[in-house]
Structure formats: structure tokens, C-alpha cells
Structure 1
């Protein structure tokens, strides 16, 4: 099973750390293991670099984009997508500070959620701490100065 936590990163941090997403990954991983004073410090750092999750807008977007899909189910604020061939399944729940996506099987179901979310916000960062993966839902385009 894969578990992704999606955070909205503040614009200035997202553009400054483009290409160095591993720094964010290490902060979140350190926060997961931390206790006591270190936990408080990393919590503050995370709240400083992230935006609050626009919960209502995310719910509206998911309903609007996926409600006509036969493989989509919404129940008690949790959303489930299952691939037509039943080889892939993903669930999404919206929290106050992040979105949690849990998936198993192939990547089709989780990709459905990623595609919807990437259209809504520019700086969603997906972190899978268990599998040591991190990446932007919508890669940031580098500005080229002439």
C-alpha cells in the first residue's frame, strides 16, 4: 500500500526550492520521527512553509470532476476511485493541513486524484514517507532569463 500526504507549499518556498524537493522530504520525515522540543520546532517549520488546505474548494472540485465517473464513490468526506478492471484502488481524505491518499494495486486510481488536484493549485507537493518518494503534482517551470 502507498500513502501520500499532499501539502500546499507557500509560493515563495516552492519556487526557491524547485529541484531540491528532498529538503522538504527530510523535514517531513524528521517531523514524523521527532519528539519533544524537536517535534515542536519541525511542526512550526512545516506550518510556516505550507498553506492551509482549502477544504471546501477541494471537496467541490472532487465532486464536480469525478461525480459522473462510474468508478467514483464519495462517502462521509472520503472519496474512493477503483479502476474499471479492479486492479487499482485509491482513497482520498481531506484534512485541515494536508490531503491523504492511500492506494494499492496499479497507479491508475491514484493518478485520477492527482490529475484533478493538480488543476486546482500550483504547488501541491506529494510525499510518500514509507517509500521515500517526493514530487510536485504540477512541476514548476523554470524561468529562463535572457
Structure 2
């Protein structure tokens, strides 16, 4: 099972740290450490935006066109007919948690919908040390 934590990053922070996503990974993984936990939580709160639940709910429910798509409160999930692959998205106050099993098709479905909703989502899989933007930011070119 793959577990992704997805955060909506503030615009100016996302632009500044584009290409240095490993710094986000370090910060979010340090959130579990004892002494600095309070300071790290304040930093995480500063760089992330609260999730607009109602807008996100509307977007998810209208964008996903799949028969095996279910909604229960703040949990959205989809499974294949045989149950061998699927994904479950949980919405929190400042983060999303995506649990996926089997192939990549189900998690890609959620990633695509979130990418179209806002380009500043950063997904991190701490167990496999994988991270990245759902929609890569474009660099500004100055003449």
C-alpha cells in the first residue's frame, strides 16, 4: 500500500522552493520529532493553505466519472470491480491523505483531479521517499 500526504502550499513559498522539494520533505518528516515539534508545526502551518473543503468536494464529485466511485463524509474512494486495486482520499483541515493499492490507475485518477483543481499541491510518500508537485510549476523567464 502506498500512502501519500498532500499539502496545498502557499503560492510564494511554492515558487521560491520550486526545484528544492527535498526541503519540504525534510520539514514534514521532522514534524514527528519531539523537541522541535511545536516549531515545525508552526512552520508547516505557515507554508500550507487550509483546504477549501466545499470547493474541493464539488470538484471531486463532478470530475470523477467512474461507476465505482464512492463518497462518505470527507472520504472518497474508488476500487476496481475485483477489489485488487483502488485508492482512498481523506480530506483534513490542511492536508489530504491518499492511500492506494494495486496498480497506479486509481491514484492517478485522484492526482489528475487535484492537479486540475489547484497547481500548488505537493504530494509526499514518506515510506518510499518520493515527493513532487501534482502540477509542475513553470519558471519565469526574464528578458
Structure 1 residue aligned with 2:130:
133
Structure 1 residue aligned with 2:13:
13
Contact kept, 8 Å, 1:72 with 1:82, in 2: the verdict is yes
Find the residue that maps to 1:119 and give its secondary structure: helix
How far residue 12 of structure 1 moved from its aligned partner, in angstroms, is 0.5
Give the gaps of 5 or more residues in structure 2.
none
Structure 2 residue aligned with 1:106:
103
Find the residue that maps to 1:69 and give its secondary structure: coil
How far residue 130 of structure 1 moved from its aligned partner, in angstroms, is 1.1
Find the residue that maps to 1:19 and give its secondary structure: coil
Output the CA distance in 1 between the equivalents of 2:132 and 2:80: 23
Pairing of 1:69-108 with structure 2 (within 5 A): 69-83=66-80, 86-108=83-105
How far residue 60 of structure 1 moved from its aligned partner, in angstroms, is 1.2
The CA RMSD over aligned residues, in Å, is 1.3
Output the CA distance in 2 between the equivalents of 1:136 and 1:6: 9
How far residue 83 of structure 1 moved from its aligned partner, in angstroms, is 3.6
Pairing of 1:21-40 with structure 2 (within 5 A): 21-32=21-32, 34-35=33-34, 37-40=35-38
Structure 1 residue aligned with 2:50:
52
Normalization by structure 2: what TM-score?
A: 0.94
How many residue pairs get matched? 143
Normalization by structure 1: what TM-score?
A: 0.92
How far residue 98 of structure 1 moved from its aligned partner, in angstroms, is 0.5
Contact kept, 8 Å, 1:83 with 1:108, in 2: the verdict is no
Structure 2 residue aligned with 1:115:
112
Output the CA distance in 1 between the equivalents of 2:74 and 2:47: 26
Output the CA distance in 2 between the equivalents of 1:84 and 1:145: 51
Q: Which has the higher mean CA deviation after the structures are superposed, 129-138 or 76-85?
A: 76-85
